[in-house]
Amino acid sequence: MPLELFLDLYSQPCRSVYIFAKINEIPFEFRKVDLASGEQYGEEFGKISVLRKVPVMRDGDFVLTESVAILQYMVEMFSTPDHWYPADVQKRARVNEYLSWQHTAMRSHAAKVFWFRCLVPIITGAEVPKEKMDSALEDLSSTLNMFENKFLRDQHFITGDQISLADLVAITEMMQPVGAGLDIFKDRPRLSAWRDRVKQELGVAAFHEAHEVIMNAASLPQEMESKGMLEFIKPRIEKLFN
């Protein structure tokens, strides 16, 4: 039985797993988990993962959560080209350094801006207060500066000349606010150049296919509303962003 990947392409970590599997021609079955309808909270999905998050990978009896762990597993299991997760100790450490830092930096700040722009207004019925929005945008901007100055610097990719898991995970997170209509690459030539290189390496078609859903994120609020998710998610959102 081939690998099963439980995914919703609205989700950044799902996109990195999806793109990685596709471009490395890893055979898998796409199991859609519809986040907009709250499928992750249902009984079925609860049996797959008690943490009720995506992505999840199932390889026979072996179930694995956390996109970073899934990517590391696939690299090893399918012997993907070395540049994704180099065998060289120091190069691999650089990839791990980014993959570690990004959880509470890029991921968290980029996601927040997406939620504030795209979902919180419709869930709470009010625009996000200006100072909260400004603060979130400031954090994102700071994080992007750190990315450019510390991780990218004047290199082509995070580890140097070749793309790795670090770039893949980074780009999928950065695309989230883009889906909410915020062009984070504007006025950032170095970042834009890196984005273009990453797109080339991943394959422009694969990149666009994976990001089609998030680029139509404007319709997500209505989708959630029609599926009865807004009331359900309201208390969670209030806790998360206060």
Partner 1 sequence: MPLEIYLDLLSQPCRSVYIFAKKNNIPFEFKKILLFKGEQYGEEFGKVNYFRKVPVIKDGDFTLSESIAILTYLAEKYGTPDHWYPADLQTRARVDEYLSWQHSGMRGIAGKILWLKLMIPKAFGIDVPKEKMDSAMEDLEEALTAFEEKFLQDKPFIAGQKISLADLVAIVEIMQPLGVGVNVFEVRPKLRAWKDRVRAEIGPALFDEAHQMIFNVEEVAKSTDPSAKEIFKPKIKKLFL
Pairing between β-strand 56-59 and β-strand 3-7 as defined by DSSP bridges: antiparallel
**Residue 138, SS3 per DSSP:** helix
**According to the binding rule CB under 8 A, does residue 232 interact with partner 1?**
no
Member of 68, 122, 206, 237 binding partner 1 (CB under 8 A): 68
Site for partner 1 contains 65 (CB under 8 A): yes
Specify the residue, 146 or 206, whose C-beta has the smaller distance to partner 1. 146
Site for partner 1 in 20-59 (CB under 8 A): 50-51
- Of 2, 81, 100, 215, the residue at the interface with partner 1 (CB under 8 A) is 100
Residue 235: both structure tokens together: 């208390």
Residue with tokens 């079955």: 29
Looking at residue 4, its amino acid is E
Confirm or reject binding of residue 78 to partner 1 (CB under 8 A). no
Build a one-symbol-per-residue string for 158-197: x at contacts with partner 1 by CB under 8 A, - elsewhere: ----------------------------------------
Say how far apart CA 102 and CA 11 lie, in whole Å: 15
Q: What gap in Å lies between CA 36 and CA 138, rounded to an integer?
A: 28
Q: Smallest Cα–Cα separation from 168: which of 86, 223, 99, 232? A: 99
11 binds partner 1 (CB under 8 A): no
Would you say 73 or 232 has its CB closer to partner 1? 73
CB atoms within 10 A of CB 121: 14
> Count of residues binding partner 1 (CB under 8 A)?
31
